[in-house]
Structure 1
Amino acid sequence: MNKRDFLVHGGGVLLSGATMGAAWAARPPANATPFEGATPAASHLARWQALQGLRFGCHTTLGRPVALILSDVIESAHAVSHTGVEQFTLSFEGPRALPLRAGLYTLQHAQTGDVAVYLEPVGQGEHITYAAHFSLLT
């Protein structure tokens, strides 16, 4: 392959790779919290407690939109220990008509932005209840 053919056929790949890299670099870091506007002294637990009762958008694995309501924020018995670990569980309620399997989902809300959370179904009644467990360093 000569230099001209390489640039004509391979240049698009190089350009698209550079463009994707620029888009990746423009994103917030993966370890950024969804609550950037919150005071640093506020615990993660307190931040989620402030959102209790609010509706979060989500999508099923087939891409159908689902609304989940943050119904409860349950503090662990060892929520903030001497080891500097904060533990709590978020409880969400969703419609029975659109069940979610256990897995990683992106929750959307105007106050938090997109938040990746592992949800697992834990109960079923009038609604399906999902749990998201957190164990965070403080």
Structure 2
Amino acid sequence: MASPLREQIIATAKAWVKAHNDRDPQATNLPPQGDKDAEGYVAFQARAFPLFATYHAELVDVVVDEAQLKAVLYLNSNATAAVPDVTELYKNQYVHKLTLTEDAKLVKLFDSFVDSAGMLAFMGKVFAAAGGASEGEK
């Protein structure tokens, strides 16, 4: 039988994935930080997500570490572009490590490992078709 803490960690991880599938996702870093990396991430997401017509991340597997209040998520995603000139389907794989609050109800930190080659190639086409430069071209 799974412990209540393990079940809470998994429930929080699933809610985190669901938030990424919502059309109007919002992210909060706790504690609030003004470091350049966080701002760059938020700026890229704010610019990139409106360029997707659809986006869906599917949780494939989760590994839980109760002692450290961490969950490692294995995700597959697919999306379509919101610009008509890009007709190929975006597919990617992610590994996200979530560090949770003491009650395991909120994500306070996450590390994201993404197949950046696939993402950059797709987003480069989308940004070009939308009339802007991709992040890699700046």
Which TM-score applies when normalising by structure 2? 0.27
Point out the structure with max Rg over C-alpha: 1
- Greater share of residues in helix: 2
Which TM-score applies when normalising by structure 1? 0.27
- Greater share of residues in strand: 1
Q: Report 1 or 2 for greater relative contact order, CA contacts < 8 Å, sequence distance ≥ 6.
A: 2
